[in-house]
Amino acid sequence: MSLSVRILGASGGIGPGRRTTSILIDNDILIDAGSGVGDLTLEELRRIRHVFLTHSHLDHIAFLPMLADMVYSPDAPPVHVHGLPATLKALCDHVFNWVIWPDFTRLPRPDQPLIRLESLQPGHSIAVEHREIQVLPARHTVPAVGYSVTNSDGAAFAFSGDTTSSHLLWPALNALPHLDLLMIETGLPDEMEGMADLAKHYTPQHLGEDLAQLQHRPRIAITHLKPGHEQAIRQQLARSPHHDGMIFLHGDERFELGAHP
Ligand SMILES: [Zn+2]
Ligand SMILES: [Zn+2]
C-alpha cells in the first residue's frame, strides 16, 4: 500500500499562491495546521483524526482553531492533537483560552472534548493504524520537532519542521529503515545568515553541508522559503552537490510513496 503525502502549504509567508506549512497524510493525519488547511473541503476536514504539530509558531498552527470550529458537532469524534508539552501549553495559554478562541479542549464536554491533547518527545513513536510516526529532533527558537511517517509496507516520508543545523536530526533520519521523501526547510538565503542564526532556520549553505551526512537517497523537497527570496535560495541550493532531483514545494503537490518489498 502506498503512502499518500499531500502538501497543502509550504511557504514561509502568505500572498497569492502562498500557503503556510501543512501536510495531509492519507486523508486522516495532518502535520502542522498552517494556512494550507484552508484549501480542504468540509468533508476532508472531517476525516482528520490526528494533528501532529512541529512547534507553536503561528505559521504552523494558525488554522487549527478554525479546523476545530469547522468540524465541531455535539457528537463529533475527538481530534488528537500531538505536540511537545511546550507546544500544547502555548496552545492552551494563548489560543484556546476563550479570548482568542473557545476552549475546544473542554468543549462540548470536559470529559469528551473535541480536541484531545497528547504530548510527545523526540524519540517517541506513535502508531496510527498502519502508520508509525516517529518524533525527530529539531533546533529552533522555540521547542520544536520534526516527524517521519512510515507505513506497514515501508513507504517513508520525513519532515524537518522549522530547524537550523542540528547534529541530532541526521543520525535520526539515518536510523530509519527507508526514506523516500525528505521535506526540509531552507527558510533564508545565505546573505541573511545572521538573521537565520537568530531565527534558527537553515540557509542553503548549511543545508548543503548537512545533506552530506544523509545515508538515504530520498527525493529532497525544499520548503518554507521566505517570500521575496525564493529565487536566491533556489540558485544557492543549485550549487549544492546534492541538488540533483531536488524539488521546491509550492504547497499544492501530491506524492504517492510506493511500498518497499
Ligand atoms: Zn518557526
Ligand atoms: Zn515556520
pLDDT tens digits along 91-131: 999 999 999 999 999 998 999 999 999 999 999 999 999 99
Burial classification of residue 5, based on how many CB atoms lie within 10 Å of its CB (0-12 exposed, 13-18 middle, 19 or more buried) = buried
Structural domains counted in the chain = 1
Q: Ligand nearest 57 Cα, by number? A: 1
User: At 226, which CATH number?
Assistant: 3.60.15.10
Confidence band, pLDDT 50/70/90 cuts, at residue 5:
very high
188 is in which domain, residue-wise?
Answer: 3-255
Could you tell me the distance, in angstroms and rounded to a whole number, from the CA of residue 34 to the centre of ligand 2? 9
Could you tell me the distance, in angstroms and rounded to a whole number, from the CA of residue 199 to the centre of ligand 1? 8
- For 156-207, how does the pLDDT look when each residue is reduced to its tens digit (9 = 90+)? 999 999 999 999 999 999 999 999 999 999 999 999 999 999 999 999 999 9
Q: Between the CA of residue 3 and those of 154, 194, 256, what are the distances in Å?
A: 9, 38, 6
Could you tell me the distance, in angstroms and rounded to a whole number, from the CA of residue 219 to the centre of ligand 1? 23
Predicted confidence at residue 78, as pLDDT, reads 93
Report how far apart the first and last C-alpha atoms of the chain are (Å, whole number).
11
Place of cell 509550492: 250
Cell of 229: 527570496
* Within-domain flag for 183: yes
Predicted confidence at residue 181, as pLDDT, reads 98
Could you tell me the distance, in angstroms and rounded to a whole number, from the CA of residue 143 to the centre of ligand 2? 12
* Within-domain flag for 233: yes
Predicted confidence at residue 74, as pLDDT, reads 80
* Within-domain flag for 95: yes
* Within-domain flag for 260: no
Could you tell me the distance, in angstroms and rounded to a whole number, from the CA of residue 224 to the centre of ligand 2? 7
72 pLDDT higher than 90? no
* Within-domain flag for 189: yes
Confidence band, pLDDT 50/70/90 cuts, at residue 75:
confident
Could you tell me the distance, in angstroms and rounded to a whole number, from the CA of residue 250 to the centre of ligand 2? 15
Q: Ligand nearest 143 Cα, by number? A: 1
Q: DSSP letters of 209-256?
A: HHHTT--S--EEEEE-BPTT-HHHHHHHHTTSTT-TT-EE--S--EEE
Identify whether the C-beta of residue 58 lies closer than 8 Å to the C-beta of residue 86. Answer: no
Could you tell me the distance, in angstroms and rounded to a whole number, from the CA of residue 258 to the centre of ligand 1? 30
* Within-domain flag for 261: no
Could you tell me the distance, in angstroms and rounded to a whole number, from the CA of residue 176 to the centre of ligand 1? 25
* Within-domain flag for 77: yes
Task: List, in order, residues 6 or more apart from 142 with CB less than 8 Å away.
Answer: 55, 56, 57, 86, 87, 90
147 pLDDT higher than 90? yes
* Within-domain flag for 40: yes
- For 120-144, how does the pLDDT look when each residue is reduced to its tens digit (9 = 90+)? 999 999 999 999 999 999 999 999 9
Could you tell me the distance, in angstroms and rounded to a whole number, from the CA of residue 9 to the centre of ligand 2? 11
Q: Ligand nearest 226 Cα, by number? A: 2
Predicted confidence at residue 242, as pLDDT, reads 85
- For 211-259, how does the pLDDT look when each residue is reduced to its tens digit (9 = 90+)? 999 999 999 999 999 999 999 999 999 999 888 889 999 999 999 999 8
What CA–CA distance (Å, rounded) separates 178 from 11? 27
Could you tell me the distance, in angstroms and rounded to a whole number, from the CA of residue 112 to the centre of ligand 2? 31
Residues with C-beta atoms within 5 A of ion ligand 2: 59, 162
Could you tell me the distance, in angstroms and rounded to a whole number, from the CA of residue 23 to the centre of ligand 2? 13
What CA–CA distance (Å, rounded) separates 112 from 115? 9
